[in-house]
Chain A
Amino acid sequence: MNTDCALQEKGESERTLEPFRRILLRHGLTLERRKTTTLQINVGLLCNQICRHCHVSAGPGRKENMDSETADAVIAYAGRTRFETVDITGGAPELNPNFVKLIEEISCLTPRLMFRSNLSALTDGKRDDLTGLLKARRVAIVASFPSLNESQADSQRGDGIFRKSIAALQKLNSLGYGHQGTGLELDLACNPAGAFLPAPQDQTTKRFREVLMKRWGIVFNNLFAFANVPLGRFRIWLEEKGNLESYLSSLASGFNACAIDGLMCRTTVSVSWDGYLYDCDFNLAGGLHMGKRKTHVSEMKGQPPEGSPIAVGDHCYTCTAGAGFT
C-alpha cells in the first residue's frame, strides 16, 4: 500500500483533483521558459499503429500530416535558430513523405538529431533505405518499448507489435545502434501498459538490460520511463474503463515541486504538423498554444523569449509526478 509522505499529508477532502495552476500557486511556483535548447517537430498524426496510450490519438486514418511547405518553414527555423537538440515525433514520422528531407536538412543544423520511432514502421520492409540514412546522419533513435511481456506490450500497441519490435531492435543492433562506442544511440521509451505509473527508471533500465540481452541478445543505450499522459486516446480509454479519476489522483498525489525546475517544456518549443507552436507535445495534443496565441513557425525570428509563461493544464501533473518527465 502507498504510504508515502504525500499521501499521509493529504486529508480526505483533498482527494478531488486540484487544478494544476492552483497547486503551482500554493507552492509559490511559476512555470516560465528558460533558454530554449530543443526544437520538437510533430510531423503529423498518421501512424501504422493505434496504441491505446497515445496522447495525440495517432492512427492509420489520420490525415493531419506536415506538408512540404511547412517542413521547409521548420527547416528554415532550425537554420536561423540553432538548437542543441531537434526531436522529431508523430504519429510515425517515417510515414511522412517529408521525413527524409527533414533528416537530411536538419542533421546539418543541429549537433543532436533524434527521432521517436514505434519500431514497426521503421522496419516494415517499405523503407529499407531509411535506416542507412539514419545511421549515416548519426540520428539518435528513441524507440517505444513498453514491456518485456508480449501480451502486455501487444495490449497497448496492437497484436504482433512486440515481436516486430524485438526484430527491429535486433536489426538496429546489427547496424551498430545501441552499442557503446559507435555513436549510434538507441534509447527505449517505456510507458506503462495501463492506468498505473511507471516503475523507477533505474530499476527498469537494469531489468530490461538483463532480460533483453539474455533472451534476445539486444543492447540499448538508455531507457526512459514515462508516465502516460491523460489526453487523446489514452484519456478516452481511462474514461471508458472508469479509471480517469483514480489515475488523475495518482498523478496529482505524486506531485513533486522539485520537478518543476527541470521540466522539458521550459527548454522546448514544439511545432505541430501545421506549423503552429506549443510549449510541449502534450500542450499540442491539448490545444494549448505557446503564449496563448497561434504563432506560426514562419513568424519566429529566434528562440521564444526567456521568462515567458508556459501554458498549463491538468495533464501537466504527468510531468511533475515523482522524479518528473524528460
Chain B
Amino acid sequence: METYYRPEDLPRFPDMGQKAPELGKKFFEYYNAVFAEGALTEREKALIALSVAHAVQCPYCIHAFTQTCLEKGSNLDEMTEAVHVVTAIRGGASLVHGVQMLNIAQKLSM
C-alpha cells in the first residue's frame, strides 16, 4: 500500500455498509438527516463540518466538506474563518489547561 489515504476511496464510504448492512443503513440515514436543512441551513452545517474536519484532521472529510461548502454557496473567506474558529478552540483548549498547571505549580511552590 503506497499510502493510507487515497482520494478514490472517498466515494467508497458507503461500502462500509456491506458487511453490516443494518448498522450501515442506520448510520447513513442518520448522517443524511443530520445534514438536511433544519434549524440550521445546509450551508451552515457544512461550515461546521468543515471546521470539525480540521479538528479531527480527516483528509476525506476536509476534501468532501470543502467541496460541499462551495456547493452550498460558501466562499473561501467564510471557510477560512471557520477553520480559524476550530483552531481557536483547539488552541484555547490547550491554553486553558494551563490553569491546572498554575494550580499545581502554585501548590507545590513556596
Contacts and interface: CB of A to CB of B under 8 A. Distances in A.
B12 A12 contact: yes
A192 B13 contact: no
B76 interface: yes
Interface stretch (A24-32, A144-152, A163-171): A144-152
B75 A198 contact: no
Contact of A7 (B11, B43, B70, B73): B11
A196 B13 contact: no
Nearest to B31: A3
A1 B64 contact: yes
B10 interface: yes
Contact of A199 (B8, B64, B71): B71
Contacts of B42: 199-200, 203
Contacts of A49: none
Interface string A1-33: 111100110101001000000000000000000
Contacts, number: 64
A39 B68 CA distance: 36
B76 A197 contact: no
A157 B77 CA distance: 18
B5 interface: no
Contact of A8 (B8, B28, B41, B64): B28
Given A203-B37, A203-B43, A207-B43, A196 B64 contact: no
Given A2-B64, A3-B31, A8 B73 contact: no
B54 interface: no
Contacts of A204: 73
A52 to B, nearest CB: 15
Contact of A203 (B10, B31, B72, B77): B72
Interface string B17-29: 1000000000010
B73 A207 contact: yes
B84 to A, nearest CB: 17
A1 B60 contact: yes
Contacts of B67: 196
B75 A8 contact: no
A199 B77 contact: no
A304 interface: no
B76 A152 contact: yes
B43 A3 contact: no
A152 B43 contact: no
Interface in B70-104: 70-73, 75-78
Given A8-B28, A149-B76, A199-B73, 9 more contacts: A1-B31, A3-B31, A7-B14, A12-B12, A147-B75, A148-B73, A149-B77, A197-B71, A203-B73
Interface of A: 1-4, 7-8, 10, 12, 15, 147-149, 151-152, 192-194, 196-200, 203-204, 207
Top 3 A-B pairs, shortest CB-CB distance: A149-B75, A1-B64, A199-B73
12 contacts: A1-B10, A1-B64, A3-B13, A3-B14, A7-B11, A7-B14, A148-B75, A149-B77, A192-B71, A193-B70, A196-B70, A207-B41
